[in-house]
Structure 1
Amino acid sequence: MNQEQLQQLTEQISQQFFKKPFRHKAVFNDRLKTTGGRYLLHTHHIELNRRSFVEHGKDELIGIIKHELCHYHLHLEGKGYQHRDRDFRELLQQVGAPRFCTPLKTVQHRKKTVKLHYYICTGCGKHYTRKRRFDTSRYVCGICRGKLKKEEGKA
């Protein structure tokens, strides 16, 4: 699907479901990573994620366009256009638009592995686990004021 077809589809959906014209631009924005689309308040344009169309098909794209058109038409009418507003939620329900888009498979939600640092008190034997490394010559045990030593075997 190219930009012209996307523009025509958006105008058609606006007329069909909202009975109002869409007079601005609808474009694919390939820099969008986690969202299906967005409505720009200042320019009134709609940007859509091409990967949502590629991965989930035309039906998902139509749902995202309906969602963004809800923002668009309510904003231009001066009504509540944000997700938390009643006007927005009611219009979503009327036109059958999804509140959230289907998550993308290509976006890898990786949890960053945290390297832990282990310390032991030479006086009382208390174990300390920290996410950040620290200078053992500057800090002492909180219980007995003994010296701390990094445990070599663990990390």
Structure 2
Amino acid sequence: MEENTLQRLVEDISIEFFGRPFKHTARFNNRLKTTGGRYLLRSHDLEFNRKQLEVHGMEAFIGIIKHELCHYHLHLMKKGYKHRDRDFKQLLKEVGGSRYCEVIPGQRRQEKIKYIYLCNKCGHQYPRKRRVDTRKFSCGKCRGKLKRKSID
């Protein structure tokens, strides 16, 4: 899909589902890796991850466009445009936008678990990337003492 086709698609979706025009720029940003798109607060432009369209298809991509347009229109109307705001959640549900985008295989790098902590009381395991001070922290299930388990 070309940039001008993307612009027209976003404008059409904005009129059809929101009843309001999209007056700014929509473009692809190839640097986006873990997100489907983003709304830029200062310029009011929208950026989209081209890989989402290529891997998951047009239906998923339209859901992402609706999601970003919710941010756009609510921000311009001076209403709650953030993910946690009631206005955002309500509008997203009304237009049928996607709450989250699907993961693109191979895009997210897997962080290696370096530490495993074990509860002395209940035996619950806590895998961690970073060290935990076992003098300060205890088991979240039973408040038992934690000990570090060696990883082979």
TM-score by length of 2: 0.73
CA distance in 1, matches of 2:71, 2:44: 10
Gaps of 5+ in 1: 116-130, 133-153
For residue 112 of structure 1, report the CA deviation from its aligned partner: 2.5
- Corresponding residue number in structure 1 for 2:76: 76
Q: Which amino acid aligns with 1:55?
A: V
Q: Which amino acid aligns with 1:30?
A: N
1:17 aligns with 2:14: no
- Corresponding residue number in structure 1 for 2:46: 46
For residue 104 of structure 1, report the CA deviation from its aligned partner: 1.2
CA contact (8 A) 2:34 2:108 kept: no
For residue 45 of structure 1, report the CA deviation from its aligned partner: 0.2
CA contact (8 A) 2:7 2:26 kept: yes
Q: Which amino acid aligns with 1:89?
A: K
Q: Which runs of structure 2 are paired with 1:116-135 in the superposition (5 Å)?
A: none
Q: Output one character per residue of 1:60-102: Cα deviation in whole Å (capped at 9) or x when no partner.
A: 1100000000000000000000000000000001000111111
**Between Structure 1 and Structure 2, whose CA radius of gyration is higher?**
1
CA 1:108–1:86: 2 relative to 1, 3 Å: closer
Gaps of 5+ in 2: 116-129, 132-150
- Equivalent residue pairs, number: 120
Q: Which runs of structure 2 are paired with 1:1-155 in the superposition (5 Å)?
A: 1-112=1-112, 114=114
- RMSD of aligned C-alpha atoms? 2.1
CA distance in 2, matches of 1:32, 1:57: 17
- Which aligned segments of 4 or more residues in structure 1 are displaced greater than 4 angstroms? none
